[in-house]
Amino acid sequence: MRKRKRNSSKKLLSARKRREILAAIQKYLKPLLLVSLFIFLIGISYYTVMISDVFLISDIDLIGGGEFVNRTDLWNFVNSSYKNENLVFLRAPDISEQIEDRFLAAKHAHVTKIYPDKLTINIEERVPLALLSNDYVDDIFMVDIEGYVLGAVSPDFEDLPKIDYMGDLRIGEFVIQDLVLIYHDLIEATDRSNITATEMVFYSDYAVLYTSKGIRVLVSYYKDREMSVKTASRLIHNLTLEGKNPVSIDLRYDKVVVSY
C-alpha cells in the first residue's frame, strides 16, 4: 500500500511540474513570438525600402510648360535628377524649389509623389501682363506681374499694355520688382484724378508721367502713388488758376519741387 501511495505522489508531482513548465513556456512564448514578428517586419521593411527597387522612381509624368519653359530642358533635368531615386526619401517641396530655382519661367512647380514609384510634376508658367521696350533695344519684351522678362513679344500677346522702361532688358532676368503693379496703380490713379497721362516712362526707382499739357510729373515707387498723383493734380489745377505754366513737378522727395 505504501509503495502504491509513493508512486501516486510521484505521478502527481510529475504532472504538476509539467503544468508549471507549460505555464512558464506559455508565459514567455507570446512575447518571444511578438518580438520575433517585430524583428521580421523590420527586416522586411528595411529590405523593401533600402535594398529592393520597389520605391525607385521609374515613371515621371511631366505636365505643362512649353510656352516659356523649355520642356526638353526640363525633362532632361528631372529625368537625370530623380529617375531611379528612392521616392520615400524625396520631399515634394524640395523638388518644387529646385525646379523653380532652375527654370525661372515656371511660376510654380506642383510636385506629387505617387507610391510606389511615380513622380508627377505639373508646371504653372508665368503669364505675360505687359510689354516692355526702351530706346536701347529693338525688340519688345513680355513681362509678368513679378517683373520677369519672358521673351520677345509673340503675336498672341501684342495687345498687352506697353510700358517704356529705361533699364536693362534681358530675357530670363527680372526688372524692378512689381513694375506691372506700379504701372497699373498709376493708370488707376490718373483715371481717378484730373490728370490725363499721354505717356509713362519707368526708371529704376521712379516713373515719369507726361500730361496732356506737356508737364513732367516724377513719382517715386516708394511713396503712396495714389496720393502723389492726387497732389500733382491739385497742384496743376492751382498753378493754372494762378496763370503759371510748370514744366516739371517732382514728387519724389519730402518737398515738392516745381520747375518752370
pLDDT of residue 47: 62
Sheet strands (E) in the chain? 59-64, 106-114, 118-125, 130-133, 141-143, 149-152, 162-165, 197-202, 206-211, 216-220, 248-250, 257-259
According to the model, what pLDDT value does residue 75 have? 95
> Do the two domains 59-125 and 130-259 of this chain adopt the same fold?
no
Q: Average of pLDDT values for 19-48?
A: 70
Distance CA 123, CA 62 (A): 8
| Model pLDDT, residue 148 | 94
Pick the CATH number of 130-259 from 3.30.1400, 3.30.1490, 3.40.50, 1.10.540: 3.40.50
- In whole numbers, what is the pLDDT of the chain averaged over residues? 86
Domain layout of the chain by residue ranges: 59-125, 130-259
Confidence tier at 138 by pLDDT (50, 70, 90): confident
52 compared with 200, residue with greater pLDDT? 200
Q: At the topology level of CATH, where does 59-125 sit?
A: Ubiquitin-like (UB roll) (3.10.20)
Q: Does residue 61 carry a pLDDT above 80?
A: yes
Report pLDDT digits (tens) over 84-103: 999 989 999 999 999 999 99
| Average confidence (pLDDT) over 231-260 | 90
> Please, what is the angle between helix 71-82 and helix 92-102, to 10°?
140
For residue 55, what pLDDT is reported? 87
More confident residue, 8 or 198: 198
> If you write DSSP's letter for every residue of 153-176 in order, what string do you get?
--GGGTTSPEEEE-S---TTSB-S
pLDDT band of residue 20 (cuts 50, 70, 90) is low
Q: Please give the pLDDT value at position 117.
A: 93
Specify the pLDDT at position 137.
83
